[in-house]
Amino acid sequence: MLKFVKQNLETIDGVSIYPIISLIIFFSAFVLYTVWAFTYSKERIKEMSNLPLKDE
Q: What's the pLDDT tens digit per position in 5-50? A: 777 777 778 778 888 999 999 999 999 999 999 999 999 989 989 8
Burial 9-38 (b: 16+ CB within 10 A, else e): eeeeeeeeeeeeeeeeeeeeeeeeeeeeee
Position 8 in a domain:
no
Number of domains in the chain: 1
Q: How far apart are CA 38 and CA 44, in angstroms?
A: 13
Q: Is the pLDDT of residue 1 over 70?
A: no
Q: What is the pLDDT of residue 11?
A: 79
Q: What is the pLDDT of residue 56?
A: 67
Give the structural domain span for 30.
Answer: 21-45
Position 37 in a domain:
yes
Q: What is the pLDDT of residue 21?
A: 93
Position 11 in a domain:
no
Q: Higher-confidence residue: 20 or 1?
A: 20
Q: Which amino acid is at 37?
A: A
